[in-house]
Amino acid sequence: MLESKGEQWTDMRGDIFAVLAAEEKPSSAYDIADKVSQRRGKRVAPNSVYRILDLFVANNLAQRVESANAYIANAHPGCMHDCIFLVCRECGATTHVDDDALTEQVRSVATLSGFSPERPVIEVLGTCAKCN
């Protein structure tokens, strides 16, 4: 996917994506940097991880969970949905759901208010079924 946009899939990008994809919960850039550092046997700076995560988000390979300041791998990178995240306050589990009608309504409300929406961020904080 990166190659089609003129970007290279480097070893560092591959390591960061592998760590991100292996996580069940959203991960911070610092957590990812620590795990990639362990894999590579040398320190990886969080600012380098942030840059790569930003590239992944821009290319729909990862998504940012704003309330957690963390990232998750995109389970379906070919789809261009606005995401809705259900975030458990107890365990941190985050479920991604798509509802194009809802997110289009959010975009329409923003547009009617004279705002130019880029990407609706909808996160529902609560308790997951496991923690209930």
100 with 67, same domain: the answer is no
Checking if the pLDDT of 6 tops 90, the result is no
23 with 46, same domain: the answer is yes
Residue 131 lies in a domain: no
Residue range 23-50: mean pLDDT, rounded: 95
Q: Return the beta strands (E) in 2-89 as ranges.
A: 62-65, 70-73, 83-88
Q: What is the pLDDT of residues 60-91, one digit of tens each?
A: 899 999 988 999 998 777 777 788 999 999 99
Domain C-terminal end among 54, 73, 92: 73
Strands 83-88, 94-98: pairing kind: antiparallel
- State what percent of residues in the chain have pLDDT above 70: 99
Residue 9 lies in a domain: yes
* pLDDT value of residue 118: 86
Checking if the pLDDT of 103 tops 80, the result is yes
43 with 99, same domain: the answer is no
Which of 50-54, 89-93, 123-127 shows the lowest per-residue confidence on average (mean pLDDT)? 89-93
Per the CB < 8 A criterion, the answer to whether 73 and 17 are in contact is yes
* pLDDT value of residue 125: 94
CATH at residue 28: 1.10.10.10
- State what percent of residues in the chain have pLDDT above 90: 70
Checking if the pLDDT of 107 tops 90, the result is yes
62 with 101, same domain: the answer is no
Number of domains in the chain: 2
Domain extent at residue 109: 83-126
CATH at residue 115: 3.30.1490.190
* pLDDT value of residue 2: 76
64 with 13, same domain: the answer is yes
Give the position of tokens 């990886």.
Answer: 44
Residue 109 lies in a domain: yes
Residue 132 lies in a domain: no
The rounded mean pLDDT for the chain is 91
Q: pTM of this prediction?
A: 0.83
53 with 109, same domain: the answer is no
Distance, in Å, from the CA atom of 20 to the CA atom of 45, rounded to the nearest integer, reads 16
DSSP at 24 = S
* pLDDT value of residue 104: 92
